[in-house]
Amino acid sequence: MYTVMFKGLITNNVAEKVLDLFDEMKIGPDQFNLSTLFNACSVLNNNRAMKTGKKLLDEMPENYRNNNITSTSAIDMLMKFGDVESAERIFRSMKTKNIITYNATIKGYVGNEMFEKALDLFEQIHLSLTNVTYTIVFNACAKLCTDRAMKIGKKLLAKMPENYRNDNITSTSAIDMLMKFGDVESAERIFRSLKTKDIITYGAMMKGYVGNEMFEKALDLFEQIHLSLTNVIYTIVFNACAKLCNDRAMKIGKELLAKMPENYRNDNITLNSAIDMLMKFGDVESAERMFRSIKAKGANIYGALMNGYNLNGESWKCFKIFEEMKEKDIIPDEIVWNILIGACSKSGMLHHCQYIVNQIPLNIQNQIRIQNALIDMWGKCGSIENAKNVFDLVVDRDTITYNAMINSFALNGMGTQAVELYREMPNNLRDHISQICVLNACSHAGLLHEARTIFNEISLKTESIITTMVDCLSRLFMFEEAQKLIEDYEKTNTPSIVMYMSLLSGARNNRNSNLSEKIYKRMKTLFPNAKESLAAGVVLLSNIYSSLGKHEEAKTFRSNQIEELGVKVKVGLSWT
């Protein structure tokens, strides 16, 4: 009778009442009661449940320990508690293990993020697998995404019996796994083969497209759905629209948001995605309205709003929002502090920087992500001493740490120090950003020899690296060498307008009207549709005429070319 009552209470999501009823029991629990009690403790996973569950387990009679159902429930409970060692001891002590016991242990490993152990145990199984086994192993492989995981996952999928292929839960896990592997085609094949698709399957497929940066495909599939949408679907579509930010994405995103049911408007994850989307669209007012309408705001919602302000050039608003967080006793997490540091970087005001830094808890200040952001912030605000102090405190420096410090030197005209740090940086940590930062430092400090040496050492010269070197040479009026770089690049690549703008900017600084005219004509030939960049080129060239005293020629050239391009020149438009 008690077992039936216990099960009923768990089914009705009132597991706490199971423990209340158990406390009233006048007799000791039998093995059936125990299994259900372990399940209730597993569902609750609070202090009371842990205390009750472990006490029951300690007092469990020896003859119950070989009952697979009871022991499997105990393993599941302990895994939920995070007590993996105790769960393993029970597993090892069992004389005969069935597939359900293996499943519970593998699932426990996955729940505790011990994915390699999950695969180790899976490879020891010599029993017929159930759909649950397939699902759990696919999930473990999806989390790992290593060569071993890909091999195991794909091999298991190839052997999966036909009757499991129409199980939506198993097939959805397989789709998620393949998408994580980047094997979109195989995921699409499974999706198409499913006779009946539920909303979770659609969600996995769309999430996979977003994860593989196939945002248009995610929206294509979304428009085919004729099922009730879940909050997960809203979140995924908002994320896809935020990434695209084109007319179609804006239309779909805003229409979906307008139709979103009231009960999803209190879901912080969905609202976070909606605010992020609106901010990416540049619709700050709508994002603010949504933010104000949320009754219970967590740190993540505040973070989404502040991040949006940074994106839209309204960083000063972040400090006001931060004060609101303090008033409401909402504790910023590492992500929020990172966003606030970003706001300080954009404001460039030292008193803002110091005010925020003084309030960051020491345990968070010691996180490498925060330290990297602080180096970048101090560098952008002109306090190279503070940037260097933070850099010196970083114990385990990564690529971003070095890049932030090299860039800080570059921004503050300390080219020699930037080159010295680049030389100190371990080779395995250097990436193309490191190379661009140090070349920029050389460019702004006039260190031509150092720039040439570093450039010649770079084996993989990307478009960005060549553009930076062109900029460096152009600033130092080494136009022939810069043009030769562009010519060599164009032998195997599509021409880059940014390279020409760097060359033209250098020619402007040199007041070289002949070269500037040739560059501008070449740009018009190569990039006839790049109206905004061509307009910037017109401004640069007309400035050269003005600097040479040819004011009428500058005025005529500018008005004629702007009219021909059919664009409006933005106030303050500059390339330097």
pLDDT in tens, 93-131: 999 999 999 999 999 999 999 999 999 999 999 999 999
Quick one: pLDDT band at residue 2, thresholds 50, 70, 90? low
Closest CA to 243 of 219, 259, 221: 219
The mean of the pLDDT values for the chain is 94
The rounded percent of the chain whose pLDDT value lies above 70 is 98
Place of tokens 């009442």: 17
Backbone angles phi, psi at 438, to 5 degrees: -70, -35
pLDDT at 566 (0 to 100): 86
pLDDT number for residue 18: 81
Least confident range of 15-19, 373-377, 497-501: 15-19
What's the confidence (pLDDT) of residue 574? 46
Tens-place pLDDT, residues 416-458: 999 999 999 999 999 999 999 999 999 999 999 999 999 999 9
> What pLDDT is attached to residue 9?
75
Query: Crossing angle, helix 551-565 and helix 531-547, to 10 degrees?
Result: 170
Percent of the chain with pLDDT over 90: 89
The region of weakest confidence among 55-69, 152-166, 243-257, 371-385 is 55-69
Residue 575 scores a pLDDT above 50: no
State the pLDDT at residue 569.
60
Spatial separation of the C-alpha atoms in residues 389 and 392, rounded to whole Å: 5
pLDDT digits (tens, 9 = 90+) for 279-320: 999 999 999 999 999 989 999 999 999 999 999 999 999 999
Tell me the Ramachandran region of residue 28: left when phi exceeds 0, alpha when psi lies from -120 to 50, beta otherwise. beta
Give Cα separations from 353 to 6, 310, 313, 326, 465 (angstroms).
57, 15, 17, 17, 31
Least confident of 33-42, 213-222, 358-367: 33-42
